Structure 1
Amino acid sequence: MKPITNTILSILLLLCFLFEFSSSSDTITSTRFLKDSESILSNRGFFELGFFSPPNSTERFVGIWDKRVPVPTVFWVANRDKPLNNKSGVFAVSDDGNLVVLDENYRILWNSNVSNAVVNSTARLLDSGNLVLQDSVSGTIIWESFKDPSDKFLPMMKFITNSITNEKVQIVSWKTPSDPSSGNFSFGIDPLTIPEVIIWKNSRPYWRSGPWDGQVFIGIPDMNTDYLYGGNLVIENKTYSLSIANSNEAQLFFYYLNPNGILVENQWNIEDQKWVVAWSAPETECDVYGACGAFGVCDSQRTPICSCLRGFRPENEEEWNRGNWRSGCVRNSRLECEKKNISVEMGKDQDGFLKLEMVKVPDSAGWIVASENDCRVQCLSNCSCSAYAYKTGIGCMIWRGDLIDIQQFKNGGADIYVRVPYSEIAYESGISKDMKVVIIASVVTGTFILICSIYCLWKRKRERERQTKTKFLMNNGDDMKHDKVNQVKLQELPLFDFEKLATATNHFHFNNKLGQGGFGPVYKGKLVDGQEIAVKRLSKTSGQGLEEFTNEVMVISKLQHRNLVQLFGCCVDGEERMLVYEYMPNGSLDSMVFDSTKAKVLDWQKRFNVIEGIARGLLYLHRDSRLKIIHRDLKASNILLDRDLNPKISDFGTARIFYGGNEAQARTTKVVGTYGYMSPEYVLNGQFSEKSDVFSFGVLLLETISGRKNTSFYENEDALSLLGFAWKLWRENNLVALIDQTIFELHYEAEIVRCIHVGLLCVQELAKDRPNITTILSMLHNEITDLPMPKQPGFSSNQIEIHTEGCEQNHVGTCSTNMITITSFDGR
């Protein structure tokens, strides 16, 4: 019996040991720590804690990730600013009761830093994703990861700001998708008089939600009470706490502050098995804090997006006209109370208010106890009060000094009343005092005949211009008469006088010549008002210039985007045909990137900005403009750089419009474009689509990164073209060799190599394999983390052969290569 008894006791002891181990599978104690390659799971297996390496990195971190989804998503990182260099790290509870991350020499890289920690405390991973450190005896929570978050915000977490103790619970972005260290952006509650949530960039506001009205943040359009899954802001004893409850546990979601400062709501799509973006901010340029400066209002639906409030004008007219609106606006005239230097009495010539409807109210709102009527009175009685608003749930808001970060909404927001002098009120309402009525009546009577005369002269001039344009269009191809492109109202395009353009260019002097293209010469000019322009003048010997002129006027006359060159107007005078554009002081991309001296100005950040800008311009042409447009001649010389090196796509002479909503591609018997940038299906078969532009974009991307032309490879090279060279380096896993040494920096290497990868995807031989421009932008911004493997680029192994299918055949059955136009157009 004794051996049997001993066996039973052994089994019971083993079971007790196994029970103790399994019961602590979500727990770390002073005797049970984690080594690299080990992990713990929350009770129901929702979350896992262990060691990991970010993408494209060998450094090791302690983190928490969700086990319910197949996509690796790290929600919290312990030692984000002090990585481990190898796999010998340890995560443990130290002797003083704090959580610590130790390296192989037992040096502390991170600790929970709790002053009231107790000996023999226990750390436990909860099913909410929260790691808590608690007193093993009382169960009191001493520290929790939810109060020391990384870059993500999970349901059941709370953003907290205590304006007395300065306690802050905020999320901070990663530096890059491969580097979890603290980035430039943070997100949390700003404890103003009326609280808001803010994204800061290096401690300066980058985006703001607008004030909290008890249910929603009024600066977020279309926000309703169901927003944020029942988000609620509680204010108690100077402590502000924002929480987000998740009543539906099956719906997985989180908020994420990415390295570019974008706050994203991600939801798990069960069908597609991936995270999808449900909401993000900022979304437009107008969402960025103070986009239009003081007393400016931003409207993303208008061009330009910034305008001054009524009664105000740009402080710096020159900068404002160049699209730099940060200097903001100033009053047209002083307030009445400032003139008198006292608070004005009710009645005569007092200041008043102009109403601005449905806007994101300005930053730094003050709050006073007042009814809606008293709100106006109190603001008017204080000369420092520049505006007021009354919003249910908030009450009376007033602003002193400059009004910053106003945004126009289509709906929602609030109405704000901006203080202006009496003269602006009289102008706005059309009502004035008796004396002013007499003066205005006298002036109107005295100028009526003059106005009528000017109007008649103007009308006659416009009629002559209309007849000139109509005659021009009728004389340039009967096939244009029935084309849908007539939907573009050419009459709205300004017509320049030949004499004015001749004067502006010093009579087309050689010293003002910027370059020469297939259309003709391009000249720099300056109008009498100081506006700098670039004038493309159709050469009388140009073979395709007249057709390109007509096409470009029709295509670009209604396009407006920050990454497209702006067409100011045209000139049709006798045999003269000219296009007038905005002037680009930094010329074309090829004049910069292919010049060893000038290329040094374009560091990697500037080159990435150029690449991204070109992509955004293409996105507008392919998807966002009212007409789908294929450029067909995208190349480095057609990318112009403004004063700030922002790229603008130019030269729409060969562009084509797709009118059908489902039209994906077209075919032509007349192939026009530039060798080295044209896609294989276009060169060989005359087929073009948005994927043709994607191919050209890929060539541009690789040229911009390498500083070398696609067609600059000769007998001494290992490859026939830049595409072939890039493909060779890809197969050798040596893409770093492609990077222009003037931009190479080790901490940018992964980002640059990723962009080369995107470029190779764009230049794949088959159009169906290439991504569209929307996907390309997501790839460039790391929104798509796992890139597909590229296939062999077009024109990377054999010389280009022009097949007869791609050209018009002449009577003897041969194909003329003259149908391929090789243009050289220096930037304006």
Structure 2
Amino acid sequence: MNNKESLVIFSLFLPFLAFVVASSDDTLQQGAILTSSSYLVSAKKVFTLGFFSPPYSKENYLGIWYTNDSQSHPVWVGNRNTPIHNNSGVLAIDNTGNMIITHNGGDTIELYTTQTRDNKTATLLDSGNFVVREVNSNGTTGHVLWQSFDYPTDTLLPGMKLGVSHRTGRNWSLTSWLAEGVPAPGAFTLDWDSRRGRLIVRRRGVIYWTSGVLKDKAFEFIGKSDPRNVVYDYINVTSEEEEYFSYSLIKDSRCTPEGRKAISGWMLDYNGQINDQDRPPIARVDLCYGYKTRGSGGVYEGCELWEQPTCRNSNQKFDLRSGDFGNIDEESSFYDGNSSLGFSDCRANCWNNCDCVGFRNDGDTGCLYWRGRLKFYQDNSDVSRAQYVLISESSNKRWERYKWVVTGVVSASFVLLLGLFCYLRRKFKQGQERDLFDLMTLEGQMNTDELENDGNKGGHDLKVFSFACITAATNSFSSENKLGEGGFGPVYKGKLPEGREIAVKRLSQRSGQGLVEFKNELILISKLQHKNLVKLLGCCVHGAERILIYEYMPNRSLDFFLFDQTKREQLTWERRFHIIEGIAQGLLYLHKYSRLKVIHRDLKSSNILLDEDMSPKISDFGMARIFEHNVSEANTNRVVGTYGYMAPEYAMEGFFSIKSDVYSFGVLMLEILSGRKNSSFYHVDRPFNLVGYVWELWKKDAALELMDPILSGSCIEQQLLRCIQIGLLCVEDRALDRPTMSDVISMSTNDSMTLPTPTKPAFVTSSGVDESDSGRQPEIYSVNGISITAMHAR
């Protein structure tokens, strides 16, 4: 019987099979079907299996993805070589025991075939493995006959293998997608070199990158200095039957026996980069060009040498630019519509052709090339015309020669403009905000011509929205959509036309903050990308309106739960520790691992937002300052921040550094452990703040009394005491005595590490702030240039 006959017979029984369902949500029984509108979900709901369409594609594929992130990249694709051209796909185990995909208009796709007619089932496991087992006569399942882990696509999950089975002759390796929306095999492969004990990435067979040798549980070129990568436990097995590499995640087992479920998946993308969820990239293979091995410690580590065209040199590279080539004729441009060509193929083909001066690939297949002696005309007004242009870094030497002269002219012009601004400010107070924004435009920080186009990208790769779009999204800033109000102004919930929910922060005319803070946050946060930092989606500038648009956080801010007698019950010990850990990771990124060294300066519970999983995201960067990475501290005559969270050297002398944020983190950590505000303590003899209260308990060896009563009986006492001790270390009086955020993470994750003994912290007594007025809003106090925000209970 051929495939077409099987499809006809199977379709006759389809109406009857539609009523047959699996016995559980994670298992497909023989005779049951899975359609494009149904799914299998693993027992603990970690993974989901079903049909999906990639971005920018109408094709359908059978895939597996993380249940809590349905928009993420699938970890496995069953029919990557044979896409379904409609949503008619049906997965089933037929009456002969074969697992097949049938669909209208195409041949049957066989995932598993067998010669036996024994009853079989297919189960999606919490490991992400999809397995076929035989069913015994007593109803129990037997050994595994087939598993998706033996057929990896572009993602390596914990427990999967890279290597070879000498018993079956099977090779386990990853192959990238061809393009972002095309799961077909692409240019890059990831293999395990068992002879030398290393990982290898090849592009069309040529070695581009290696991990270096696996030694002492670490690879030579995979993030040795990054403490966020200690979550991996590498496994290297060599036996007569098989040689392979695998990895697992080191579980976080605090408070509960099973621990908090972490997710991971090493994905080899179509550019050759190896990513793992929200963690830092494991390998930047896309930055390898093959001329020389780059210096140690950088993202170029592990790049291999290979032969280059004689017409190319190490000063040349392709740069993505917006504009057009001039003087184009029929021979100057050439389009190759080969469906097997992805982005890396376009780049390699153009690089190897000495006449090629540029190329374009729109994230799909096929390449457009430009050849000959063409001149490129830059035009930043239309990013849709961006293409990769061959440039020579040496061509910038003329600019190097004159840059100091240009810098001097620009600086002088800036001084003149600043003087003009000051004059206009005194003369036209009503036009203050307009003038400042004009100054921002003249500084080149923002282009007002770009600020009226919905969804188009403006300065710093941010989307800019029209005021009409934001007005419609927030129902004209209605009170029903208002989420709250801070020092910047009111915050509203909105929904974009495509259905995405957003948070809209609107600068108030009465705001204690102003356009300087607006500009600071707009420019700064657009450069920062981390899972524990709130994501800025874009901005809107319209007349006097200054608006920031963020991702929407459904669980609002930490203080909304922490200081509410009923809602705080949702903050279990496991969630509180998860929140503390997330804030620490976000601060570590700001202080050490971002492109900019950032001091937040206003870390507090109301500036910690919580997503749908109660994961924390640091927000409100209006007060933040940028440091050079070799600068340790700075001084300011304008102290900004919130009462009770500011470090003593900052509040009293204006000195701030990363240790200032550490102090604020310590106060916040103690608030999370106790469920009480820093300024909510009052003693009959003398006033205390939270820090002073904790210190008194610590001295009396009664620190456990700090614990939020709601947590009673849910935690191991030693873990809570360790957290309290870390919090006290963070609020030490001298900045030098406080740990760094890297130290904090090490101390909180390594229970065997001996902690220093805390000394008397700063500000152990409060100034007697009365918080009885529960309806008061935040106030700004300014004395001799010092600005302090005092937050009162709501």
Q: What's the TM-score, normalizing by structure 1? A: 0.47
Q: Which has the larger radius of gyration?
A: 1
Question: Relative contact order (alpha carbons < 8 A, sep ≥ 6): 1 or 2 greater?
Answer: 1
Q: What's the TM-score, normalizing by structure 2? A: 0.48
